[in-house]
Amino acid sequence: MTSFILGKIDFDIPRLAEDVAAVKTMRKGRETYDEFSSGFWKNVPLWNENGDGSDGLFRDFGLPARPTEYASHVPYLTEVLEERFNLRQLVMVRARDIVDASMMPHKDFLELEEDPSHQFRVMIVLEDNEATYNSDEEKVFRMRTGEVWFLDAAGVHCAANFSTESRVSLCLDFSFNGPFTPADIFSSPNLYEPGSEPMIVKRQPLPEHFEMDIRRMAVACNRHNFRDLAFALAKLHFSYEVPNDACYDWLIEIADRTDDPALVAKAEQAKDFYIADRKIHERFSFTEW
């Protein structure tokens, strides 16, 4: 299943603005998954397993999520969640604020023992930003304010904000024990309104000389700039017609052309960690050798 629009929320803009402002003032703690992102990337747990706002670890558990201490700072968003969504299947809600930030293309739910098809991730943008993009394995797209998106997080996906302006959104995770339909995430089936036309980003063909450019990058590649290079390559699919995980093969090819076997090992490990096989609590670093 690829990402698509599930429906739309007509927000009360003044009330929404108050909650968005509150999200921006919330303390940015240590990012649980900081190896996935670069730049300013803040995730605040509004609802989770234990009601502890300092716990940002995603878990597939049997009990519905409950509000953390941060939920009281966003009363309107809490009201929207309680009115529109199936709280019995809701396992986590995060408020996300990103500025001049990007992530490595990756698959979520690799760590879970359960079937990832039982997980359903929803994104809701709270403030529009024309310089912010998302991608899945088929397309690059922009999420607009109020659109309720299913994000295919079990497939390779990515996001980036290419501006110094904020983009605040909600990330909702639902979990089911068996078969379900997208309508099941809502409090009422009539809130499921698919079919809206998404804003797909038109991309350019990859330049003909790109393979030669890749070979040239190897001359400047070293352990000090390897992380920067990886995140730079990860951004290219937002502009060019290439798969969003192509950056890993490019990174491996560049590393192969250096005289440092540790770079080759790190590039191969990165591809495995982000899109192939990752264990619970496993960590990865581009800068530890």
CA 221 from centre of chain: 27
Q: Which residues pair with 40 in a beta bridge?
A: 99
**Are residues 33 and 92 in contact, defined by beta-carbon separation less than 8 angstroms?**
no
End-to-end CA distance of the chain: 37
Q: What is the pLDDT of residue 247?
A: 97
Q: What is the pLDDT of residue 117?
A: 81
Please give the domain boundaries of the chain with CATH numbers for all domains: 4-200 (2.60.120.330), 210-275 (1.10.1720.10)
User: How much is the pTM?
Assistant: 0.92
**Are residues 47 and 81 in contact, defined by beta-carbon separation less than 8 angstroms?**
yes
CA 52 from centre of chain: 22
Query: Could you give the dihedral angle defined by the CA atoms of residues 177, 54, 97 and 184, in that order, rounded to the nearest 10 degrees?
Result: 20
CA distance linking residue 123 with residue 146, whole number of Å: 10
Q: What is the pLDDT of residue 112?
A: 80
Q: What is the pLDDT of residue 50?
A: 82
Angle between helix 226-235 and 246-256 (nearest 10): 140
One digit per residue, the tens of pLDDT, for the chain of length 289 reads 699 999 999 999 999 999 999 999 998 766 666 789 999 999 999 999 887 777 767 666 567 899 999 999 999 999 999 999 999 999 999 999 999 999 999 999 998 877 778 899 999 999 999 999 999 999 999 999 999 999 999 999 999 999 999 999 999 999 998 899 999 999 999 999 999 999 999 999 999 999 888 889 999 999 999 999 999 999 999 999 999 999 999 999 999 999 899 999 999 999 999 999 998 889 999 999 9
pLDDT tens per residue across span 90-133: 999 999 999 999 999 999 999 887 777 889 999 999 999 999 99
Q: Of 287, 224, 213, which is closest to residue 257 (Cα–Cα)?
A: 213
Q: What is the 3-state secondary structure (H, E, C) of 208-260?
A: CCHHHHHHHHHHHCCCCCHHHHHHHHHHHHHCECCCCCHHHHHHHHHHHCCCC
Q: What is the pLDDT of residue 59?
A: 64
Query: Which two tokens mark 205?
Result: 């063909």
pLDDT tens per residue across span 42-64: 999 999 988 777 776 766 656 78
